[in-house]
Chains A and B, each alone.
Chain A
Amino acid sequence: MVIFLKAGSELRDRLKPDIDFYTRRIETEQGKTIKEILADIGINPGLVAFIYTSGKVKGLHYIPSNGQTITLQPPVSGG
């Protein structure tokens, strides 16, 4: 199946977007978690604080569906 990953700015270089400025198309197997998919494409899941999709925050154990767009959010902790 195909999913689309978008990245917050600190992760964009690692994601290597190929669709637009933010987004990379990923072919993956159904049933995999986001954590597993990140490991498959060489992104350390520890660099992602949380993800969100369809207007809701999810954890890294989320299993995406075909065609879904997932945004990866790196840690943001300054003030």
Chain B
Amino acid sequence: MGLSESEKKRYSRQSNVRNWNQEKLKSARILIVGVGGLGSASALYLTAAGIGKLRLCDGDRVQDTDLNRQILYSQASVGKLKVEEAKKRLVVFNPNVEFETIPKFLDSQNADELTRGCDLIVDGLDNNESRFILNKQSVKEKKPYVYGAVQGWEGFVGLFHPPYTACIACFLPQHAHKAEKIPVPGVLPGTIGIFQATEVLKFLMGVEGTLLGRLLVYDSQNLTYEIVDVEKNQNCPHCAVS
């Protein structure tokens, strides 16, 4: 898939980064489920990088309480569908990217439809029940899953590609304690969303050093992080071979 002259100019500052392959990005089709704090940041930077097609999925409408962290939206967005507001902002930012919007919440009935034709799944979700539905889809379709989650000052990022690696159900409990309204400073989903976008780009271009099969645990309060290996769980309810 060739690049136009305007695209070559637009992406010229990244094209000389070691192992960069702009044409691979242009041919990629990425699904982002959840266009909130995480999804706003990952969508923005994947758009900037020149991903060919972004499918944005979210059934929610923008609320005032979103505006501390969901950077694709403004006060004028309140009450409107997130995916439509996101597309409006992103298409102006980079008209070379093709956007598809699905104003639905992920569930087990529509998961096939949402992931169809996508090369990779990006997690922008705000609850683990939905993550497990998306994870099952990743396992079923053998599609890479870029996991992200935030709470308080902490965030997680990981890249999982079952059956070649563990999946998120290998280590996350199926019945974890649920917080009603999860406290989070806006900078944290921004940071984690950008880490997720970075992993997408590296994976698509075959750049070494991804978080494949690993989890980054980031503490933004103390500016510490650890990267830990996630081994396949032989008893995983999602990916263990029976």
Contacts and interface: CB of A to CB of B under 8 A. Distances in A.
Contact of A50 (B34, B148, B150, B173): B173
Contact of B154 (A8, A47, A56, A57): A8
Interface string B19-34: 0000000000000001
A76 B156 contact: yes
Interface string B195-236: 000000000000000000001010101100011111101000
B229 A79 contact: no
Contacts of B233: 59
Interface residues of A, number: 21
Contacts of B131: 77
Interface string A1-18: 000000011100000000
A64 B48 CA distance: 46
Contacts of A55: 226-229
Interface string B170-189: 01110011110010100001
Contacts of B178: 75, 77
Contacts of A42: none
A76 B151 contact: yes
A67 interface: no
A26 B109 CA distance: 47
Interface of A: 8-10, 21, 46-47, 49-50, 52, 55-57, 59, 71, 73-79
Given A9-B154, A56-B229, A56-B230, 6 more contacts: A8-B217, A9-B152, A73-B217, A75-B176, A77-B149, A77-B151
